[in-house]
Amino acid sequence: MTDANTRVYAQSPMPQLLTDELQASPTASAPCADPAAQWLLIDGREQRSSEGLIEGFCRRLVDSGFPLFRFFLSVRTLHPQVAAQGFHWWRNRDQVQLVAREHGIYQEQVYLDSPIRLLHERRVNEIRRRIEDPATPFDFPILNDLKAEGVTDYLLLPVPFTSGTINTTAIATDRPGGFTAPEIARFKGLLPLFTVAVEVREVKRIASTLLDTYLGHDAGQRVLQGQIRRGAGVTMAAAIFYCDLRGFTALSEGMAPDRVIELLNDYFGCMAAPVQALGGEVLKFIGDAMLAIFPIADDLDRDRACRTALKAARRALAALDELNLNRREAGEATLEVGVALHTGTVMYGNIGAPDRLDFTVIGHAVNLTTRLERLCRQLGRRVVASERFASPCGIEMTPLGRFELPGVHEPQAVFGLPDETSRLDGGPA
């Protein structure tokens, strides 16, 4: 699909920015003299987000006489749920609108019919449509939307990142006659500088997302802030949440690997979502077990943290019950879990080999919690808690007796949920 308004890539995969039109621009030979470029180099550096950068850049363009009505930037990203981020700016609106596109978008019709696809596939290196010209082909559905908004001219360009990823940006005007050649040349001259500025922010966003995903939000932010030396960390108080899937080895025997992963993902989804929703920090998945904490700010905050962790446990069990109902209806085995709750002092920081670190918690309180969980099977309970944890929870927990725990000197008073009936070894969920 090529015509006078659609330019095909040359031999180089990178778009050629200095064309005859660029030569006609008063800022083409020295784009850094452009007021929008000056803003990117000076004030733009203070913008922490891509949204702030785009808003400021577009406003400077408009203030300096550029007839911009609509600006769009699409950036591919690394995120477990999001494939791309779309940033939308309009001259008559107060803020940049951020739209996330989930994985699978590239197989959907909205993308297959989009001009963006042609740039991603490197079939062209720009697309321009003079919408007010009766001879212009309306070969993309978005053109009808733009016409309804009053747009007269539309230009789509690639935004290549240093990783080799091709992102895209689009500008549109509502001025009769559309963009002039010098105006387009000016924008193309500014685009490399804008690309560098936005890539810095998007790389940081991706790094933050990946650290959140693999370490947890708090741990990820600590790493970004420089806590990366082995042994670096803090001593803190926390309510500890530890859960383990019972009978997983027997359950997974003979299952295809992808089915095992699907089962674990379903199970961990039930356990982790309530913890995160209530402000807890999921630190790690250990096989079929999960370790999480609810940090305690001070002595007055301990009761709140314990009650919140208990609420997360109840919600997790409710989610697991719903999952088990679906599994039972599908003729699949139900899942049994043991959850242990405790509170105490932990060491929170970097532990591991010099070049392979893990940001986690260690300490006697963590060890006691994992040993406490082993009582779940023995007592036919899904939730057990220490006395320290249960004391602020009042009637929400009931005593189950005192028990010896491996590696713990004194017998521990153990508590459970008063409304939970005994489930001895593999009872139905």
Pairwise CA distance, residues 384 & 369, whole Å: 10
Pairing of strands 412-416, 383-386: antiparallel
pLDDT tens digit sequence for 143-172: 999 999 999 999 999 999 998 999 999 999
Q: How high is the pLDDT of residue 158?
A: 96
DSSP state of 48: -
Rounded Cα distance between 190 and 194, Å, is 6
* pTM given for the model: 0.70
Q: Residue 423: what pLDDT? A: 54
Low-confidence residues of the chain: pLDDT under 50: 1-2, 4, 7-29, 424-429
pLDDT of amino acid 31: 58
Cα separations in angstroms, 293 against 219, 273, 308, 369: 11, 13, 11, 11
Instruction: Supply the pLDDT for residue 424.
Output: 46
Alpha carbon distance 211, 227 (integer Å): 13
Work out the angle between the directed axes of helices 50-63 and 181-215 (0-180°, nearest 10): 170
